[in-house]
Copies of this chain bind each other. A is one copy, B any other.
Amino acid sequence: MDNAADRQVFYISDGTAITAEVLGHAVMSQFPVAINSITLPFVENESRANAVKEQINALYLKSGVRPLVFYSIVIPEIRDIILQSEGFCQDIVQALVAPLQQELKLEPTPIAHRTHGLNPGNLIKYDARIAAIDYTLAHDDGISMRNLDQAQVILLGVSRCGKTPTSLYLAMQFGIRAANYPFIADDMDNIQLPAVLKPLQHKLFGLTINPERLAAIREERRENSRYASMRQCRLEVAEVEALFRKNQIRYLNSTNYSVEEMATKILDIMGLNRRMY
C-alpha cells in the first residue's frame, strides 16, 4: 500500500479516531482509487496538531497531490491548524450537523463527545459492559456451565466455527453476556443437547460453517490431523445441523460473515437490544 500513485488519506481525531477511520474508509470505498492511509488519534493540543499539519504538507510536497483528510476535532484552535494544511479536509460529523440543525431548529453545542470515551454519565453502563466481557470469558468454550441462566445468548457449534470471536464481539461491542458451548469430535456418535441447556432453549443459537472452510481453518491449527480432515468436518457439521433442527434451535452459517455481521444478525434474530458504547 506504499505505491507512490496511491492517494494519501488521513483519519484524524481528538479522540480514538475509530469513527473517522471507519466512515472515511466507507467513503473512499465508493471510489475506484487505491489509498494509503494514516490514522492519527488524540490530536488534542497545538503542538501535535502542528506536527500533523507538517506531515500532511510534507506528503503534498513529495507527491504533488493533495492528501485527503477526514477529521473530527472539537476545539476550534486545534481544528484550524489542520484546516490550514494543504490537505483536502472533510469534517466527518459537521457534514451531518448542518442539515440536522435546520430540522431540529436547535443550535449545535460542540462538545468533546468522546464517542468511545468514559464519563460519569456512562460509567455504570461501561462497568456492565466489562462485566459482560468477564462473564463471556468465564463461559467460553463450555469452561463453566454454572450460571448459564444469566447468559443472554448461548452459542452452540463445532470446534472452530466462530463461537469464541462472535461471543467476545457480542460482549465487547454490545455488552451482551454470551456463553458458548462446543460439540466435540468424540461425542459425534451420540450427539446430544446437554440436559442443563434444555430449559434454556430460548437462549440457544447455533453456528454452522461449510465443511471446506472448517477444514481449512482446522488445518492451520493441526496440520494433517483427523480433526482437520474433510471427512471429519463433514460428519461434525452434518451431525450438529441435525441436532439444531431436531431441537428447533435457530442457527446461521458463519462461512461468509465476519464476527461483526454474525453478532448483529444474532441480536437481530433473537430480538436482543443493542447498547451503544
A-side residues, CB < 8 A to B, are 7, 15-19, 21-33, 37, 39, 41-42, 66, 68, 70, 72, 88, 90, 92-93, 95-97, 99-101, 103-104, 106, 108-111, 113-118, 126-127, 130-131, 133-134, 137, 140, 164-165, 168-169, 172-173, 217, 220, 256-261, 263-265, 268, 274, 276-277
Q: Are B41 and A264 in contact (CB under 8 A)?
A: yes
Q: List 26 A-B contacts (CB under 8 A).
A: A16-B261, A18-B173, A18-B260, A19-B23, A21-B276, A23-B96, A25-B276, A29-B111, A29-B113, A30-B111, A30-B113, A31-B104, A32-B109, A33-B104, A33-B106, A37-B276, A41-B264, A42-B264, A88-B103, A90-B99, A117-B257, A117-B261, A118-B257, A134-B164, A137-B164, A168-B172
Q: Are A21 and B95 in contact (CB under 8 A)?
A: no
Q: Are A97 and B22 in contact (CB under 8 A)?
A: no
Q: Which one of B22, B30, B140 contacts A19 once the chains associate, using CB atoms below 8 Å? A: B22
How many copies altogether? 2
In the bound complex, CA of A274 to CA of B127 (Å): 26
Q: Name which residue of chain B comes closest to A104, CB basis.
A: B31
In the bound complex, CA of A133 to CA of B24 (Å): 25
Inter-chain pairs besides A27-B97, A30-B100, A70-B96, 17 sampled, C-beta below 8 Å: A19-B23, A19-B26, A22-B115, A26-B115, A27-B96, A29-B115, A31-B100, A31-B101, A42-B264, A42-B265, A66-B103, A68-B103, A114-B261, A118-B258, A130-B259, A165-B172, A168-B168
